[in-house]
Structure 1
Amino acid sequence: MDIVTNSLVLLAAVVLSAGLGRAPGLAMPRPLVQIALGAAIAAVAPLGFTLNPDVFFLLFLPPLLFLDGWRIPKAGLRRDRGTIVALAFGLVFFTVFGLGVFVHAILPAVPLSVAFALAAAVSPTDPVAVTAIAQRVPVPPRLLAILEGEALLNDASGLVAMRFAVAAAMTDPVSLSRAGLGFLWLVVGGLGIGFCLTWAVVGLKNQVSRRLGEEADAQILISLLLPFGAYLIADRIGASAILAAVAAGLAMSRAEQSGKALPLTRIRRAAVWTTIGFAANGVMFVLLGEQLPELVENASATMRSLDHRSPIWLLVYVIAIGIALTALRFLWVWASLRLVLFRARNGLGAAHVPGLRLVAATALAGVRGAVTLAGILTLPLSDATGAPFPGRNLVVLIAAGLILMSLIAASVGLPLLLRGLALPAAAEDEGEAAARLAAARDAIAAVIRTRDGHASVEGGPGFHTAAAEPVLSFYERRIAGLTAGIPGASDHVSRLEHAFWLAAIRAERRTIYECARAGRLSDSLARQMVRELDLVELRLADSDDLNRPGIAGGRLS
């Protein structure tokens, strides 16, 4: 019962943090509130959690990485792919090498391989923490998209690098050629498992749904099982389980744009996954706060056993390593933004270069969070000989301190740096009007095809023309700019008019998905527009008229 009670306490703290984070007088991002609540729990009634690294990794990372891959804006990835790749891969390896050497230099008692593991664990950034800060600070949309893209990819690269560092700490060093081949297999195998499993499961699911009908709850459960299945299969064959979970999310995003799921499934599934993401991230930050006192105590004991220094030096080391981490990121961001993002030339041939405020904001926005915590807590408890893993308590506390330091620095510094700062507009930010216009035209075409194709059914051509007229009028007014928003179908219209509304809504949805797949519309905006249409379709489906047999029951859809 203890594990059940403790889990309920953690979830209750996450719920409480949602209310406290919105309090008018509390200018703190939600992750900091959750850490504070965890520390309060530890002070009043410690939960006494013993975190098994393997179980912790399996429980939290697959769904979080899957959700990142599913919801990452693909248009942003394509547009700023050079900058994102430079940050997600180049910066990770630059950080692992530079920070690892720095940590070993100031803490010689920490083996170099363990220092590299710490650097790899703190190299991934956390989009959830940045988003929490962005709720209070107006982060430019394009900068936020770059940070989200970086966070998706560097989760995988950072954690894979950490696995290599841990393997080096546990065993004899391997040759560069073997390491290179191993890394290639990790990447190719992990991505292949994630994509292939998702496409196979989605394809089979669609076949079953086509023959037997779709059960929304079963579809949601399938999406919940997918990241764990991809993770476990990849782990079993020695590929990267982390990349498998990310690839499964990316494939799920693409499959979602096929539009084959029912509106009810999409709405319920989005709600379930939003709740899971909120709960998993929140629990991890509350756990961090709850574990802090024990981490400080264990790290202090390690400090005394290593070099007999006062525990106050722990704070000095965290600050020094945090400054070094930010400096490395600043240097890399300055170089990558200068060489990639602003290389586009204007008509006069003058190249735009980033200002120091933009570089500093991008560097400071690299907040560490849930993935860093999950990664560092997966360090083994013992090495290959059964002895305690060297410096584990110390590096876990340093990683926790760096999470706190990055959150506080971003909360204080970003409002100052981002005031009045703007990036070049994103192309898809201007695509909503064009997408809605194209969707309206396709809706009109679908209504006309439906009207002409069924003019001989129930009432003749005049009856169908009259029923289609309100639908056609709405979309014609939208094209003319006289009305906007979602279809205004009423619950008190005829069955036949409902059928025309359904035909128009489904045509709109297909067009929106086509625009998203072509990169003319951002994924987040397309998801929002499809949700609007799904809600209207559900309202139509719930109408009493649609419960009676006839054209609106499905023959026209």
Structure 2
Amino acid sequence: MHTVETVLLVLMLGALTGIAARYVRAIPLPLIQIVLGALLSWPQKGLHIAFDPELFLLLFIPPLLFADGWRIPKREFFALYKPILKLALGLVLFTVIGLGYLIHWLIPEIPLTVAFALAAVVSPTDAVAVSAITRNLGMPAQTMHVLEGESLLNDASGLVALKFAVAATLTGLFSWTDVAKDFMWMALGGLGAGALIGWGFAVARDTVTRRLGDVAATQMVLLLVLLPFAAYIVGERIGVSGILAAVAAGITTNFADLSRSEFVAERLQTEGTWAMVESGFNGAIFLLLGLQLPSIIGVTLQEAGHRWWMLAGYALAISTALLALRWIWLTLGVQGSLWKAHREGKMAEKPSHLLTLATTLAGIRGAVTLAGALSVPLLLHNGQPFPSRDLLIFLATGTILFTLVIGSVGLPLVLRRMPPPGEPESAHEERHARLVACKAAIAAMALVKEQAEAADPLWLAQYQESAGRLTQEYRRRIDLLEEPSQLATAEAHTDAPDAVLQRRQRYVVELELRLKSLHVERDALYAERHAHRINDESLRSLVAELDLSEISLRKRLEVARRTLAPDPMPMPEKDPQNTE
């Protein structure tokens, strides 16, 4: 099959499986996509795709890691840097050494350096897989931030460890000094290169859009989508981590976006574009992973013959040991940092055995592990086959499947036993920010004495009437957001909480009525177009206004309904594949 046809087919299947997953909620989407990919390639005349690890890392990984770096809350990321670094660096080293010796002891036919290479391949968790599996499962917010931060950074440490393990196998030479130097260069150089590229793009974008405004929004969004590829390519060309360069570019771009509040069209297009990119590329990654499984398993089992059950046992033992090492490191090496973060208020959830178990099961491996395994060279410098290469790929694939399944099955069971987290701190902060914004808007409408005296009397009367209506609207929103006890104290009424509740209920009814009216307006506009009384251009323009209003109304209605709930629960994180 032609490459273009293959790409189109994979993207189409990714979209279709995303729709199917809405009806089969019990099975995580990544597992559905892996199984479908395996079924498509299993028959002799099935879909077979030559997997190029370098091309795969270039096409699919940079935009997804860039998007994760762009979206991850930076305040929590930097506040929890100690446990994140301990997992991203310390756990990788602990896994490579501990699991490497265990693999060599368990399977003596695998040389020690190759065992270290296999341990390095399976050491990094996969940011895409972690997000896909844990999304909407109720994972505590700060723990999810730690997992995301770990996944963003440990790819580089795992791939660096793989590089030196392969080099030691090829040359027979190994130096801890060289490893440390090269790792520092690749990690710090990758972060620096990505930050510099992100900053340069931000400066250029700001220079252009300050002059042109939102007219160039579409072109800027296209350049933003290409930015992670540029960061990755530049990083790889100068010999640093392209993965970390893409992550750093995403983080830097997010910081630059904080000074671009007035560019509405660009912001809306960016959100929609990244939602589509993440949905399509996520599906493509897991489908491609499934497409490789039959050939990998078939080749290895054909060579093993009747020993296939031993290979399956090895994969199970290595996967179990991998999670056991993760649990040990979390318990002994990271628990102290988590407790300290909890005492300092940086982490709301208290560390516990169940939380440690959930974090252990969330150590899911994915596409980066497969790409790393397939990147192992075929031959040594002397022309001999790379020792145990097929077995390494098979065991890495088994680890991916095991962690995906155990995470999909075990995580919901563990999280169900954990105490409900209640309303997250971010909900309180969001409510406070809404209050501040409403009060600032009210204060901005007040005219100072000099302005009122100098104003035209007719204009002043119209202004005061309009400001009064708008102030009343903001007051209703403030009533909705403030706690009933606060309003009771402010109004000095014993029945204030009941009165506030009634006002909130009326406000919800009003918002629902406004939303229904918007739907009626939109239906009327489409009826006008069907009757050929307006053209398509007018229809798109008018409907776009209603769509923006509906987005605002839906969000306000969601907040209003949440304030009426007796025990507000945390809202699920936004699913980039869900457009509802």
TM-score, normalised by the number of residues in structure 2? 0.76
Q: Distance in 2 between the 1:66 and 1:13 partners?
A: 24
Cα offset, 1:69, TM superposition:
0.9
Distance 1:70 1:98, change over 3 A: same
What residue in structure 1 maps to residue 288 of structure 2? 287
Cα offset, 1:344, TM superposition:
6.8
What residue in structure 1 maps to residue 497 of structure 2? none
What residue in structure 1 maps to residue 140 of structure 2? 140
Matched, 1:36 2:49: no
Kindly report which structure 2 residues correspond to 1:414-433, keeping only aligned pairs within 5 A, or say none.
Answer: 414-422=411-419, 427-433=425-431
Residue identity in the other structure for 1:155: D
What residue in structure 2 maps to residue 533 of structure 1? none
What residue in structure 1 maps to residue 367 of structure 2? 370
Kindly report which structure 2 residues correspond to 1:219-238, keeping only aligned pairs within 5 A, or say none.
Answer: 219-238=220-239
Cα offset, 1:527, TM superposition:
9.8
Match of 1:357 among 347, 351, 354: 354
Contact 1:88/1:150 (8 A) holds in 2: yes
Contact 1:96/1:120 (8 A) holds in 2: yes
Q: Give 3-state SS (helix, strand or coil) of 1:311's partner.
A: helix
Q: Distance in 2 between the 1:458 and 1:280 partners?
A: 61
Residue identity in the other structure for 1:472: T
Distance 1:475 1:222, change over 3 A: same
What residue in structure 1 maps to residue 86 of structure 2? 86
Residue identity in the other structure for 2:474: Y
Q: Distance in 2 between the 1:446 and 1:165 partners?
A: 63
What residue in structure 2 maps to residue 436 of structure 1? 434
Q: Distance in 1 between the 2:456 and 2:189 partners?
A: 55
Contact 1:191/1:243 (8 A) holds in 2: yes
Over aligned residue pairs, what C-alpha RMSD do you find?
3.6
Cα offset, 1:281, TM superposition:
2.0
Q: Give 3-state SS (helix, strand or coil) of 1:98's partner.
A: helix
Matched, 1:298 2:299: yes
Distance 1:333 1:459, change over 3 A: same
1:183-203 CA-to-partner distances (Å, cap 9, x unmatched) read 221122111110111111111
Cα offset, 1:233, TM superposition:
1.3
Kindly report which structure 2 residues correspond to 1:119-130, keeping only aligned pairs within 5 A, or say none.
Answer: 119-130=119-130
Cα offset, 1:109, TM superposition:
2.8
Kindly report which structure 2 residues correspond to 1:512-551, keeping only aligned pairs within 5 A, or say none.
Answer: none
Q: Give 3-state SS (helix, strand or coil) of 2:42's partner.
A: helix
Cα offset, 1:447, TM superposition:
4.1
Residue identity in the other structure for 2:122: V
Matched, 1:157 2:157: yes
Residue identity in the other structure for 1:421: M
The answer for unaligned runs of 5 or more in structure 2 is 481-502, 522-544, 553-570, 576-580
Q: Give 3-state SS (helix, strand or coil) of 1:480's partner.
A: helix
Contact 2:301/2:308 (8 A) holds in 1: yes
Q: Distance in 2 between the 1:204 and 1:442 partners?
A: 32
Distance 1:442 1:452, change over 3 A: farther
Count of residue correspondences: 492
What residue in structure 2 maps to residue 102 of structure 1? 102
Distance 1:193 1:458, change over 3 A: farther
What residue in structure 1 maps to residue 264 of structure 2? 263
Q: Distance in 2 between the 1:242 and 1:69 partners?
A: 11
What residue in structure 2 maps to residue 515 of structure 1? none
Residue identity in the other structure for 1:315: A
TM-score, normalised by the number of residues in structure 1? 0.79
Contact 1:186/1:239 (8 A) holds in 2: yes
The answer for unaligned runs of 5 or more in structure 1 is 493-497, 506-523, 529-557
What residue in structure 2 maps to residue 532 of structure 1? none
Q: Distance in 2 between the 1:284 and 1:211 partners?
A: 40
Match of 2:335 among 333, 338, 357: 338
Matched, 1:55 2:52: no
Kindly report which structure 2 residues correspond to 1:476-487, keeping only aligned pairs within 5 A, or say none.
Answer: 476-481=475-480
Q: Which has the larger radius of gyration?
A: 2
Residue identity in the other structure for 1:103: I
Matched, 1:186 2:186: yes
Q: Give 3-state SS (helix, strand or coil) of 2:319's partner.
A: helix
Q: Distance in 1 between the 2:163 and 2:277 partners?
A: 26
1:486-524 CA-to-partner distances (Å, cap 9, x unmatched) read 9989999xxxxx9xx99xx9xxxxxxxxxxxxxxxxxx9
Q: Give 3-state SS (helix, strand or coil) of 2:187's partner.
A: helix
Match of 1:407 among 404, 407, 413: 404
Match of 1:325 among 300, 307, 322: 322
Q: Give 3-state SS (helix, strand or coil) of 2:240's partner.
A: coil
Residue identity in the other structure for 1:437: L
Contact 2:164/2:174 (8 A) holds in 1: no
Q: Distance in 2 between the 1:39 and 1:185 partners?
A: 39
Cα offset, 1:100, TM superposition:
1.5
Contact 1:76/1:149 (8 A) holds in 2: no
Cα offset, 1:431, TM superposition:
1.1
Q: Give 3-state SS (helix, strand or coil) of 2:417's partner.
A: coil
Q: Distance in 2 between the 1:234 and 1:74 partners?
A: 23
Q: Distance in 1 between the 2:9 and 2:276 partners?
A: 17
Cα offset, 1:8, TM superposition:
2.2
Residue identity in the other structure for 1:218: Q
Cα offset, 1:107, TM superposition:
2.3
Q: Distance in 2 between the 1:451 and 1:311 partners?
A: 88
Q: Distance in 1 between the 2:55 and 2:164 partners?
A: 19
1:248-288 CA-to-partner distances (Å, cap 9, x unmatched) read 11111211222356222112211211221222221121112
1:291-339 CA-to-partner distances (Å, cap 9, x unmatched) read 11110122235546xxxx6222221111010111011011111124531
Q: Give 3-state SS (helix, strand or coil) of 1:419's partner.
A: helix
Deviates more, 1:15-24 or 1:446-455: 446-455
Q: Give 3-state SS (helix, strand or coil) of 1:125's partner.
A: coil
Q: Distance in 1 between the 2:203 and 2:79 partners?
A: 29
What residue in structure 1 maps to residue 274 of structure 2? 273
Contact 1:103/1:115 (8 A) holds in 2: yes
Q: Distance in 1 between the 2:106 and 2:456 partners?
A: 83
Residue identity in the other structure for 1:210: R
Distance 1:277 1:390, change over 3 A: farther
Q: Distance in 1 between the 2:412 and 2:200 partners?
A: 46
Contact 1:302/1:391 (8 A) holds in 2: no
What residue in structure 1 maps to residue 77 of structure 2? 77
Q: Distance in 1 between the 2:60 and 2:447 partners?
A: 49
Cα offset, 1:90, TM superposition:
1.3
Distance 1:237 1:329, change over 3 A: same
Q: Distance in 2 between the 1:441 and 1:356 partners?
A: 44
Contact 2:11/2:281 (8 A) holds in 1: no
Q: Distance in 1 between the 2:50 and 2:123 partners?
A: 25
Cα offset, 1:7, TM superposition:
1.7
